[in-house]
Amino acid sequence: MFPNQDSPMRQVMRAFGRGMSVLMPLAAMVAAITPAAGQPSAKVAVSADAVEWDEIEIDLSKGPAARSILPGPLTNGLSYSAAVRHGPPDAAVAMPGSYFGPTLRAWKGQVVTVRLTNNTGIPSVTHWHGLDVPSEVDGHPRLSIDSGATATYRLPIINRAGTYWYHPHPDMATADQVYAGLAGFFIVHDEEEAAAGLPTGQYDLPLCIQDATFDASNQRIYNPGMVPGFLGNRILVNGKADVVHSAATRVYRLRLLNGSVSRIYKLAFADSTPMMVIGTDGGLLDAPRQYPYVMLSPGERVDIWADFRDKPLGARIPLRSLAFSSNALQGSPVDIMTFSIDRPAFENRRLPARLSHIERFRLEDAVNATNPKVYAINAVGGGPGGGGMRFTLNGGLFDMMAVAPNEVARCETLEVITVTNTAGMMVVPHPIHFHGRQFQILDRTVTPTGLANWNTVKDGLVDQGWKDTFLIMPGETVRILVRHGAYPGLFMYHCHNLAHEDMGMMRNFLLTP
Ligand code: C2O
Ligand code: CU
Ligand code: CU
């Protein structure tokens, strides 16, 4: 399929002619002007040299890459690569030998300017998932640039410390490009996190979980279904299959990201190691919370305090996805990776009782407390056997510039938004994501018919802390409290099952000053 070949999904989409793909030339791309290179400032260092920089400049490119994933032939795909032009060396660090993108790292308060060159041979644009950035650099599909062009993204880092990520966002081709290998971590640090005393360095492990299917010559096959999306038959972690991570008898901070096109995971260690959650999409929780397992749908992140201190040397601890039920072929059990405890180490670090301060939003403070915005998930177009069906959000499919009256809000207001997943010919799980926002889950309700599926996942829904993506199960209604950002302009919200997104399960959201 890569990069020029048409996937079956794209052929189907063309046949349906959903929306217009308006690709603007570089000149029309609204890109902030790169400021003069910042000088290391007098800012007081907290715990690393990195904080001494006000401005970081990174050259990022995306283009064809052949990488080793399985034994045997290399796998062709697309990868990001980076060079730090100005800033500390750890502002962009490649994952050795992996197709998965370099990990970008910044401190809250810094400005990261990314000059991104598209060498993929196809139009593309990059989105900074979870970061609150101006509309012009948010990765809206209207800002796609042609291959050979460069876009400048000036990103003032105003988010709190957390595990964010970046990936392409072109209209109708996001799944293709992420599946081909385009995604990376964007980690933000701040002083509150540094004071929490969590594991750092090699004990702070970002782990991106993806799935894929390969042909006999190790090339990726993309064969999505309309309803589930794409479910691959191999699990990859940071771009590698059958990962065994050599670990010490230490505490690890695992930053888990679901970078899969469609697959939802129900994560637990195969032994008795607790799933101690310390963070979610928007950074640290107020306090650690233990779960029997953790649901992680595409786009979501969760930080785990993994304590291997009392493990015997030689122990092998699989991280698994457990069985659950859905209406969408999701939920087969599968092994994700294995931690091999092969080194003794001493550590007397304690799980902090308090991790961060979180201001709890209250429904009564929302400007629309008695009149929530309601976005229904539904479906259109299903012929006999479901062929041609596509999922809709708020009654419509994606349209490049269209904004419905209930998709407008004033900057910086607090709103309550209700998402319902109770209608349509196929009611299936969806990960719903809002660009630029970190919101709070107010509550969930589920219809009696949804209960059987819901009971298999409910104890692992981490509705704590700050979220930018949440799983909504069949029959569920989820209410969230959202404080809109300070940047006016066009943003988006969508299903992060990328096959659904590409089929139009995405809408614009307009913030007005
Ligand atoms: Cu990670 Cu618009 O998404
Ligand atoms: Cu996003
Ligand atoms: Cu969906």
pLDDT digits (tens, 9 = 90+) for 417-432: 999 999 988 899 999 9
In-domain check, residue 57: yes
Q: Which tokens go with 31?
A: 């890109």
Q: Which residues contact 71 (CB under 8 A, 6 or more apart)?
A: none
Nearest ligand (C-alpha, residue 300): 1
For residue 489, give the CATH number of its domain: 2.60.40.420
Domain boundary among 191, 218, 252: 191
Does any domain span residue 18? no
424 in a domain, yes or no?
yes
Q: Are residues 231 and 273 in the same domain?
A: yes
Mean of the per-residue pLDDT values of the chain? 91
Q: Place 326 in a pLDDT band, splitting at 50, 70 and 90.
A: very high
In single-letter form, the type of residue at position 238 comes to: N
Instruction: Work out the pLDDT band at 10, boundaries 50, 70, 90.
Output: very low
Q: Tally the residues of the chain.
A: 513
Q: What is the DSSP letter of 250?
A: S
Determine the distance separating the centroid of ligand 2 and the alpha carbon of 354, expressed in angstroms.
28
Q: How far apart are CA 389 and CA 384, in angstroms?
A: 10
pLDDT of residue 9: 42
End of a domain among 126, 159, 191? 191
The Å distance, Cα 477 to ligand 1 centre, comes to: 21
How many A from CA of 436 to the centre of ligand 1?
9
Residue 21 located in a structural domain: no
Structural domains counted in the chain: 3
Contact 342, 314 (CB under 8 A): yes
Q: How many CB atoms lie within 10 A of CB 28?
A: 12
Model confidence band, residue 510 (pLDDT cutoffs 50, 70, 90): very high
pLDDT at residue 385 in the model: 64
Residue 312 lies in a domain: yes
- Cβ contact 186:131 at 8 Å: yes
Contact 453, 327 (CB under 8 A): yes
Task: Give CA–CA dist 210/169, Å, rounded.
Answer: 17
Could you please report the per-residue DSSP string of 22-42? ----GGGS--PPPPPPPPP--
Whether the bond between 3 and the residue before it is cis, its omega within 30 degrees of 0, is yes
Is the pLDDT at 139 greater than 70? The verdict is yes
Distance 471 CA to ligand 3 centre (A): 10
> Does residue 181 contact residue 65 with C-beta atoms inside 8 Å?
yes
Locus of tokens 């969508």: 494
Q: Same domain for 321 and 378?
A: no
Q: Which H/E stretch holds residue 277?
A: strand 275-280
Boundaries of domain holding 418:
363-512
Residue nearest atom 3 of ligand 1, based on CA coordinates? 129
Cβ(264)–Cβ(295) below 8 Å: yes
Asked whether residue 234 is domain-assigned, the answer is yes
Same domain, 277 and 306: yes
State whether 311 and 215 are in the same domain: yes
Residues with C-beta less than 6 Å from any ligand 1 atom? 127, 129, 167, 169, 299, 433, 435, 492, 494, 496
Taking only the tens place, the pLDDT of each residue in 329-388 is 999 999 999 999 999 999 899 999 999 999 999 999 999 999 999 999 999 987 776 678
| pLDDT at site 424 | 85
Domain presence at residue 350: no
- Please identify, by atom number, the ligand 1 atom nearest to the C-alpha of residue 506: 2
- Rounded to whole angstroms, the Cα distance separating 241 from 175 reads 20
Per residue in 12-51, pLDDT (tens digit) is 343 333 432 222 222 232 222 222 333 333 333 344 566 6
Residue nearest to atom 1 of ligand 1 (CA): 129
For residue 299, give the ligand 1 atom closest to its CA.
1
Judgement on whether residues 279 and 318 belong to the same structural domain of the protein? yes
The answer as to whether 49 is a domain residue is yes
One domain, residues 165 and 293 = no
53 and 176, same domain (yes or no): yes
- My answer on whether 183 and 39 are in the same domain is yes
What tens digit of pLDDT does each residue of 155-195 get?
A: 999 999 999 999 999 999 999 999 999 999 999 999 999 99
Q: Are 418 and 375 in contact (CB under 8 A)?
A: yes
pLDDT digits (tens, 9 = 90+) for 268-325: 999 989 999 999 999 999 999 999 999 999 999 999 999 999 999 999 999 999 999 9
Using CA atoms, how far apart are residues 274 and 354, in angstroms rounded to an integer?
A: 18
Contact in structure between 99 and 210 (CB atoms under 8 Å): no
Q: Do 161 and 214 belong together in one domain?
A: no
Record the pTM: 0.91
213 and 183, same domain (yes or no)? no
Q: 185 with 207, same domain?
A: no
Whether residue 379 is found in the same domain as residue 476: yes
